[in-house]
Every structure is written in C-alpha cells, then in structure tokens.
Amino acid sequence: MTPQKKTLEVDSGNPANIIQCLKHVDLKDVARPVAFLAKMTGHGPLVVQLLGKGLLNPNSMRRLLDNSSPREVKLDVLMIVSDVARMHKDFYEHIKGADILEHLKGFLTHEDPNIRAK
C-alpha cells in the first residue's frame, strides 16, 4: 500500500466567506480568521483566489492595520502582504491597490520590534 499524497482542497466559496466575515466581526474577534487567511497565503494557488475575493481590499486593510487593531492581527496582515509580495511581481499591483503605504511607513518606526520586522 502506498501512502496517499495529501492535497489542499478548498471550496471556492470558503475564502470569500472568510474575507466577507471580516467586515462584520469586531476587531477583538478577528484574530483567528485573519490568522487562517495568513496560513492560506502560504499556498501559492490560493493567493490568486484570495486576491480575487478581496483579500487586500483597501477598506479592510485600513481597518485591520488601524491602531485599535490587535497586535496579532497587524502581524498577520503584514505577513500576508509580505508573502504576497514575495510570490510574484504581478501581485505588486494588488498591494499598491491596498493603499497601505502610510501604515507601512508608520510600522517602520513602531515601538514593537516584531511589527517593525514584518
């Protein structure tokens, strides 16, 4: 008997549902869905799907990177942006469209060294 190769299968509606739920969940409760999305961006084929469903929507990004957002959410969002940027230069336009440059500038001088590093 040969071991079966594990494959990642995600229902095409799940990423969209998770991204849409972020609009309705309080910031204090958004850490787990954002962490899940951060894990999903580690899988190349899913990134295109996630971007198409609004992963880097400017309104969502502004909310998730706001000062009132929990630290772990900011770290996961920064990890998402970093992962997307490293995957392919074609994704740079999506990052530009997220309109997060001012937030990124602020994070370069943030008091938390982990946020500065991300």
Of 7-21, 24-38, 99-113, least confident by mean pLDDT is 7-21
Hunting for tokens 């962490």 — which residue is that? 35
- Residue range 41-61: average pLDDT? 90
Sorting pLDDT into bands at 50, 70 and 90, what band is 99? Answer: very high
Can you tell me the distance from the alpha carbon of 50 to that of 102, in angstroms, rounded to the nearest whole number?
23
Residue 47 has pLDDT above 50, yes or no: yes
pTM: 0.84
Q: What confidence score (pLDDT) does residue 11 get?
A: 55
- Tell me the per-residue pLDDT of 55-93, one tens digit each, with 9 for 90 and over: 999 999 999 999 999 999 999 999 999 999 999 999 999
